[in-house]
Amino acid sequence: MTETFHVSGFTGSCCSRLCFHQSAVCKVASQAERGFKPAKVAVVTKTTRYEFEQQRYRYAGLSEEDLKQLLALKGSSYNGLLERHNIHTINVGQIVDSLQKEGIEVRIVKRGEYDEDTVRWADAIISAGGDGTMLLVASKVYDKNKPVLGVNTDPERSEGHLCLPVHYTHAFSEALQKLRKGEFRWQWRQRIRMNLEGTGINPTPVDLHELQLSLEQHNKAHRITTDTQSSMTHNSPERPHLLPVRGLNEIFIGESLSSRLKYKSFKPHLTLSLHRASYYEISIDDGPWEKQKSSGLSICTGTGSKAWSYNINKLVEQAVEDVLRIGKLKTGLDVPLNREFIASVTETYNESLIFSPEEDKLFFSIREPIVNRVFSNSRQRGFAKKVCVRSRCWDACMVVDGGTSFEFNDGAIATITLNEEDLLRTVILD
Amino acid sequence: MTETFHVSGFTGSCCSRLCFHQSAVCKVASQAERGFKPAKVAVVTKTTRYEFEQQRYRYAGLSEEDLKQLLALKGSSYNGLLERHNIHTINVGQIVDSLQKEGIEVRIVKRGEYDEDTVRWADAIISAGGDGTMLLVASKVYDKNKPVLGVNTDPERSEGHLCLPVHYTHAFSEALQKLRKGEFRWQWRQRIRMNLEGTGINPTPVDLHELQLSLEQHNKAHRITTDTQSSMTHNSPERPHLLPVRGLNEIFIGESLSSRLKYKSFKPHLTLSLHRASYYEISIDDGPWEKQKSSGLSICTGTGSKAWSYNINKLVEQAVEDVLRIGKLKTGLDVPLNREFIASVTETYNESLIFSPEEDKLFFSIREPIVNRVFSNSRQRGFAKKVCVRSRCWDACMVVDGGTSFEFNDGAIATITLNEEDLLRTVILD
């Protein structure tokens, strides 16, 4: 990149060069300079539950009336779903109006129609939905200078960690004014980069968000290098592949069903299970390889430290209370066990699991480690700059942000790192 | 049942009547009376990794030589797999010889060929493999007087919680002598019973152990009542179905891919994910319904309290140390933080998660509960006699012992209990 590089979304910034130095990034990020003035914005909208049910039952040849009956029978309310759908639709309308009032060219894109062309066309992209939609939107943006914003279009039903504060859902024009005036700060979120090498690997992503994904495509995508001959000849362990996606939240490695189809004749006797243990070897920051058996392995960014990784590692008060009670019994010390104290210890513990989206470190955690005569387990989790994993799985996947899947079977080695080039540009509005 | 009921495996016991009283069971179980004298025994053998790889690559048209090369390329050793395979084969041979020497009629059945006929034919069944094989064997035995024994045929590679002590793997004749002399005690393991009611349910199990299971069958089985019209007419919420399997370890309810196929046209935009959150409502011991969002729900027996449920709920020393350190900081008390103390607190905590296979209580645990503005979470786990779950999932399964799957989508209600009738008869050898 050079000084003359044009930064989408706002003009004349030298940020693209400075971005190579994290500290500098923060410095620049703290002053949003001439503000956020995109000429073209794409608004990517989620699919509501109402649209989902409608599509599903239309397909089954049911009328709107049948749909109402069926939903009632299931204990779901047609009117309830329609209400949520309308709330979302109204909020999307407000976003579009606000943008157009500012003379910004807008394209509304349904989640399933969102593609690279849209990304190329837009100076900035707004995700209109929840965190899932935001993850999908981010997954296709590779230019770290193209801003991505999330608006939570149904705050009562969705958390929206990755979205603007809920307050702006009903006041997007206010948010837009602040953005244009530069009353915000840029935030470059770290993203995970994966290199895959070894045998039997397949660098072709299976896009699980892809609206038109059919099992055949899925199957085909996963077949590409599963032909044993080709994996013997073409996949020499010398050739690492940089995978064509970046992880904003986390990557998860574990046994799964997602690549099962290709084996329907190879391994008919494998049992389908939600908790087949995963076997693999792991090396942290180029340390020694350690054999592991667990329900999988999660590696997250600061952004992801509030998401699934948090739920994997957090403790509930019940567990904290039990630990403290046992400690009290064993020591005879007067450890308090009242609600407030338990709550405060639990909170402190759980907060220690969260770190900044801009910090260039990874957090790995072994999910439900299995320790027995056969498998040991030293460190269950921790921070790292680099994590290497060698698969010993039979039918495993590496899933990025719960949205993109790669085969990860016996013989494959993944190298997981962070890289300046992969930053995602978002904004922080107070 | 009556006094004259013939108890398979040994004769003239009045145990079948006494079995109705748990205490009496234990009393009877403590003296094995005339001992274990089956006339016909089925030995069900696991599929070894070597057999798996062989089958897989033969299918791909590879020679034994190619197989060696390919395994080497993957970092696996052909000789290693062959060695494990031979160890298993030798141990199976010893079991069969010992039985035949005692004049017992023996049928050797491959895991995939094991069926109800085998169960009917045999007075007792021996599982020759690891816990997975034992679970499969038990899953087809409904007669609580037909003994099931497990022999761990590869102790160096498999734990074998459900099997006889490892010592007997290489000395099965010794075990058999003790069994015949009555130098053991019967153990009746509790098993989980499930009733399914509501809409859109499908009481047809998808047997995931089934060797010949093809995706088509799987798909078909899961389709049976998924036609929306039929589920509107035939599945009136009044008709609960007793599911045709019993859970020896646990049942797990959660979003999954296992029933995804049937929806390939209905819900093309659903994202495939290893951690789609599960939405459901739960009622413990007929208490109030509570909304939950989590990575699933596990309900286990005492047998299962050492299995997956243990790994879901146990704490690693790292977590215990952090909690105690925080408690120490907040109180200023002199809580010891040395290795021994941390280890002993961790051990005490984890042991509290385990209970006897004969105890008639369930242990439920919410896996990775998600607590936020939208969803609360009070009790994360505990003991219960009865658990009711109402599904709010889109594409979920109820998986029994990781081996049998039932659809469990929005509108379905599961009632999970224990019942005398479902006990599994095993033996305890010291």
d(CA A247, CA A349): 25
**What's the one-letter identity of residue B20?**
F
- Contact assignment for B323 to A318 by CB distance below 8 Å: no
Which residue of B232, B345, B399 is in closest CB contact with A70? B232
Residue B351: burial class (beta carbons within 10 Å; 0-12, 13-18, 19+): exposed
Query: Which residues in chain A are closer than 8 Å to B199, comparing Cβ atoms?
Result: 70, 73-74
Chain B CB contacts of A159 under 8 Å are 372-374
Give residue B237's pLDDT band: very low, low, confident or very high (50, 70, 90).
low
Q: What is the pLDDT of residues A51-61, one digit of tens each?
A: 877 877 777 78
Average pLDDT taken over every residue of chain A: 80
Chain A residues touching residue B322 (CB < 8 angstroms): 349, 352
Sign of CA dihedral A301, A303, A309, A315: positive
Residue-wise pLDDT tens digits, A232-247? 334 455 478 999 889 9
Residues of chain B with Cβ-Cβ distance to A324 below 8 Å are: 323-324, 327
Q: Is the pLDDT of residue B243 over 80?
A: yes
State yes or no: pLDDT of B93 exceeds 90. yes
pLDDT confidence band for B57 (50 / 70 / 90): confident
With CB atoms and an 8 Å threshold, state whether A403 touches B349: no
Residue B269 has pLDDT above 60, yes or no: no
Give alpha helix (H) positions in A11-102.
15-18, 22-30, 49-59, 64-73, 78-101
Answer yes or no: do A73 and B232 touch at CB < 8 A. Answer: yes
Q: Which whole number is the average pLDDT over B156-162?
A: 83
Residue B356 in this model has a pLDDT that exceeds 60: yes
Tokens of A278: 């995963």
Alpha-carbon A339 to chain mean position: 34
**CA A386/CA A113 separation, integer angstroms:** 35
Which range scores top for mean pLDDT: A182-186, A257-261, B49-53, B374-378? Answer: A182-186
Q: Are A346 and A316 in contact (CB under 8 A)?
A: yes
Pairing mode, strands A40-45 and A124-129? parallel
Whether residue A274 contacts residue A255, with contact meaning beta carbons closer than 8 Å, is answered with no
Please give the structure tokens belonging to residue B181. Answer: 């002399």
List the A278-284 sheet strands across, edge first.
A241-242, A192-198, A412-418, A387-391, A278-284, A290-294
Position A288 confidence tier, pLDDT thresholds 50, 70, 90: very high
ipTM: 0.78
Alpha carbons within 13 angstroms on the beta-carbon side of residue A362 total: 28
Q: pLDDT for A174-209, tens place per residue?
A: 999 999 999 999 999 999 999 999 876 777 766 554
Indicate whether B8 pLDDT > 90: no
More confident residue, A179 or A266: A179
In order, the DSSP letters of B65-117 are HHHHHHHHHTT--HHHHHHHHHHHHHHHHHHHHHHHHTT-EEEEEEGGG--HH
Does the pLDDT at position B378 exceed 90? no
pLDDT at B212 over 50: no
Maximal C-alpha separation, chain B:
71
pLDDT of residue A257: 45
- Residue-level length of chain B: 430
pLDDT score recorded for residue A223: 34
DSSP string of A245-307, one letter each residue = --BSSEEEEEE-STT-GGGTTT-TTSPP-TTPPEEEEEEETT---EEEEES-EEEE-TTGGGT
What is the rounded distance in angstroms from the CA atom of residue B228 to the CA atom of residue A49?
Answer: 17
The span from the CA of B106 to the CA of B133, in Å, is: 18
Residue A318: the pLDDT is 92
A367, amino acid identity: R
pLDDT at B271: 31
Which of A125-129, B67-71, B146-150, B191-195 shows the lowest per-residue confidence on average (mean pLDDT)?
B67-71
- Counts of helices then strands in chain A (DSSP H, E): 13, 19
**pLDDT band at residue B119 using 50, 70 and 90 as cut-offs:** very high
Q: Which of B109, B110, B206, B271 to mutate to test the interface with A (most CBs of A within 10 A)?
A: B271
Using a CB–CB cutoff of 8 Å, tell me whether B4 touches chain A.
no
Which structure tokens are listed for B317? 């020393």
Chain centroid to CA A184: how far?
24
Q: Strand order in A297-300's β-sheet?
A: A206-207, A404-407, A396-400, A250-255, A297-300, A362-366, A381-384
- B363-372, pLDDT tens digit by residue? 999 998 887 6
pLDDT at A270 over 50: no
Q: Which residue of B has its CA nearest to A156?
A: B374
Q: Are B217 and B224 in contact (CB under 8 A)?
A: no
Task: Please return the burial class of A359, using the count of CB atoms within 10 Å of its CB with bins 0-12, 13-18 and 19+.
Answer: middle
Tell which B residues from 375 to 404 touch A, by Cβ distance under 8 Å: 377, 379-381, 390, 394, 397, 399, 402-403
pLDDT for A359 beyond 90: yes
d(CA A132, CA A196): 25
Q: What is the pLDDT of residues A393-405, one digit of tens each?
A: 776 788 899 878 8
Which of A268, A296, A370 is nearest residue B213 as measured by Cβ atoms? A268
Is the separation of the CB atoms in A398 and A419 below 8 Å? Answer: no
Q: Render pLDDT for A400-425 as a digit per residue (tens, 0 to 9).
A: 998 788 888 888 999 999 999 999 99
Give mean pLDDT, residues B320-332. 97
A352 chain-B contacts, CB cut-off 8 A = 322
Q: Which residue has the tokens 């016991």?
A: B13
**Window A:328-367, CB contacts with B under 8 Å:** 330-331, 333-336, 341, 344-345, 348-349, 352
A387 SS3 class: strand
Kindly tell me if the per-residue pLDDT of B341 is higher than 90. Answer: yes
Q: Give the pLDDT confidence score for residue A410 in this predicted structure.
A: 81
The predicted structure's pLDDT at residue A376: 57
What's the mean per-residue pLDDT of chain B?
A: 80
Band of residue A351 on the pLDDT scale cut at 50, 70, 90: very high
Would the CB atoms of A60 and B228 count as touching at under 8 Å?
A: yes
- pLDDT attached to residue A221: 37
Of A354, A282, A302, the C-alpha closest to A192 is A302
Chain B within 8 Å of A82 (Cβ-Cβ)?
A: no
Q: What are phi and psi of B187, to 5 degrees?
A: -130, 125
Chain B residue numbers touching A215 (CB-CB < 8 A)? 261, 264
Enumerate the residues of chain A whose CB falls inside 8 A of the CB of residue B405.
Answer: 272
A182: amino acid identity, one letter: G
pLDDT of B39 higher than 50: yes
Q: What is residue A160's predicted lDDT score, i.e. its pLDDT?
A: 84
d(CA A343, CA A337): 10
Q: Contact, B224 vs B124, CB < 8 A?
A: no
Query: Higher pLDDT residue, A325 or A411?
Result: A325
Give me the mean pLDDT over the A225-233 stretch.
38
Q: Given this model, what pLDDT does residue A237 score?
A: 52
pLDDT at B277: 78
Give SS3 for A388: strand
Q: Is the pLDDT of residue B139 over 80?
A: yes
Contact A248, A138 (CB under 8 A): yes
Of residues B251, B307, B9, B48, the one with CA closest to residue B149 = B9
Q: Give the C-alpha separation, A30 to A8, whole Å.
A: 18
Contact A181, A26 (CB under 8 A): no
Q: How far is CA A93 from CA A45, A52, A171, A360, in A?
A: 11, 20, 12, 37
- What pLDDT, on a 0 to 100 scale, did the predictor assign at position A321? 96
Token pair belonging to A341: 């104290």
Q: Which residue has the tokens 């909208």?
A: A45
Query: Is residue A38 a contact partner of residue A104, using CB atoms and an 8 Å limit?
Result: yes
Residues B206, B258 contacting (CB under 8 angstroms): yes
Nearest-CA neighbor of B413 among B201, B127, B133?
Answer: B201
State the pLDDT confidence band at A378, using cuts at 50, 70 and 90.
Answer: low
- Distance from C-alpha of B312 to C-alpha of B309, rounded to nearest angstrom: 5
Q: Mean pLDDT lowest for which of A200-214, A381-395, B87-101?
A: A200-214
Instruction: Report residue A70 as tokens.
Output: 């069926």
Q: What are the angstrom distances between the C-alpha of A388 and each of A28, A286, A296, B110, B119?
A: 33, 8, 14, 38, 47
Distance of CA A239 to the CA centre of its chain: 27
Neighbouring C-beta atoms of residue B94, cutoff 10 Å: 17
Taking contacts as CB-CB distances below 8 angstroms, the residues of chain A near B372 are: 159
Mean pLDDT of the region B80-98:
94
Q: Please give the model's pTM, rounded to 2 decimal places.
A: 0.79
Give the three-state DSSP class for A351: helix
The arithmetic mean of pLDDT across residues B322-344, rounded, is 97
Return the pLDDT at A12. Answer: 36
Among A210-224, B4-18, B245-259, B330-344, which is the least confidently predicted range?
A210-224
Structure tokens at A180: 């244009």
Q: Contact at 8 Å (CB) between B195 and B242?
A: yes
Burial of B338 (0-12, 13-18, 19+ CB in 10 A): exposed
Nearest chain B residue to A408 by CA: give it. B74
- pLDDT of amino acid A149: 96
- Would strands A381-384 and A362-366 be described as parallel, antiparallel, or unpaired? antiparallel
- How far CA A238 is from CA of A195, A197, A198, A241, in Å, comes to 12, 7, 7, 10
Q: Residue A371: what pLDDT?
A: 73
Residue with tokens 């007067």: A334
Cβ(B280)–Cβ(B338) under 8 Å? no
pLDDT in tens, A124-161: 999 999 998 999 999 889 999 999 999 999 888 777 88
Cα-based distances in Å from B266 to A66, A379, B189 = 16, 43, 42
Which A residues, 88 through 147, put their C-beta within 8 Å of a C-beta on chain B? Answer: 111-112, 132
Predicted confidence band of residue A67 (pLDDT cuts 50, 70, 90): confident
